[in-house]
Amino acid sequence: MPNRLRYNSMARYVLGVEDVSKVYRSGDIEVKALDHVSFSLKKGEFAAIVGPSGSGKSTLMNMLGTIDKPTSGEIYIDGVATSKMNGDQLADFRNKKLGFVFQAFNLINGMDAEANVELPMMATSMPSSERKKRADELLAQFGLGHRLKNRPQQLSGGEQQRVAVARALANRPPLLLADEPTGNLASHQSVEVIKILGKISKEDDVTVVMVTHNTDLTKHCDRILHIKDGRLEKDRVM
């Protein structure tokens, strides 16, 4: 029987993964992408998920981002069980509780940096003047106060990723998910972005989960979760 997490106090955890499995079926073929994975992260922890290709990292990230649902088990985000929510509920929940940073930045080319950061806030009741103020403060925090009106194609790769991080934090989510955030960056830019993520986790009490193939970057993390063949092989505190 796998060890199950006990959530007597949900408030202790920003993220709780409890005995999560994911099985894909095609005809008579069954593939177990995740196999009874359990772990929890508190406010302000910075965790890296590492493992070989095909180990289940991307599947786990999709579960954490509520893009896909577990076959069994449960994922708690900010104390809320997510598996029973419908599509509309999940969309609203993601906008309020999750921030996403991607390898490809996913910025809107026709919009300047300021407008890109404002995007998540447009789904809220926040007045436009407050959205602009929040966007400008975030960009200034990441050293881009002079780049507010620059479009993505006018920014370096490192600058684009900093805009993407600022956008992910726009609605003050308790959990930020970063999927290979340095995959398209030079080494010095990669370190810069990882240090920003670490600073966010400590100074803003945001829980950060990062998938990466670059194990050199994990030295900046608090926890390293090693996934292999769909199972959590190691959970190492740094």
Q: Where residue 194 sits, what CATH number does that domain have?
A: 3.40.50.300
Residue 2 resides in a domain: no
DSSP E strands in the chain: the ranges are 15-26, 29-41, 46-50, 72-77, 80-81, 98-102, 175-179, 207-211, 223-228, 231-237
Query: Residue 66 pLDDT more than 70?
Result: yes
Name the percent of the chain lying above pLDDT 70. Answer: 95
Please state whether 19 falls in left (phi above 0), alpha (psi between -120 and 50) or beta.
left
Single-letter amino acid, residue 70 = P
214-232 pLDDT tens trace? 999 999 999 999 999 999 9
Distance CA 31, CA 25 (A): 6
Q: What gap in Å lies between CA 206 and CA 222, rounded to an integer?
A: 13
Judge whether 193 lies within some domain: yes
State percent of the chain over pLDDT 90.
Answer: 89
Instruction: Determine, yes or no, domain membership for 80.
Output: yes
Q: What is the mean pLDDT of the chain?
A: 93
d(C-alpha 84, C-alpha 77), whole Å: 13
89 lies in a domain? yes
Quick check: helix, strand or coil at residue 190?
Answer: helix
**For residue 3, is it within any domain?**
no
Whether the pLDDT of residue 12 is over 80: the answer is: no
8 A C-beta contact, residue 90 and residue 66: yes
Query: 132-174, pLDDT tens digit by residue?
Result: 999 999 999 999 999 999 999 999 999 999 999 999 999 999 9
17-24: average pLDDT: 96
- Specify the pLDDT at position 11: 52
Strands 223-228 and 231-237: antiparallel
The pLDDT of 192-199, averaged and rounded, is: 94
Average pLDDT over residues 72-101: 94
Is the Cβ–Cβ distance between 15 and 41 less than 8 Å? Answer: yes
Residue 4 lies in a domain: no
Q: How far apart are CA 47 and CA 209, in angstroms?
A: 5
Asked whether residue 51 is assigned to any structural domain, the reply reads yes
Predicted pLDDT of residue 2: 37
Tell me if 5 is assigned to some domain: no
Domain that holds residue 89: 10-237
> How many domains are there within the chain?
1
- 119: pLDDT strictly greater than 70: yes
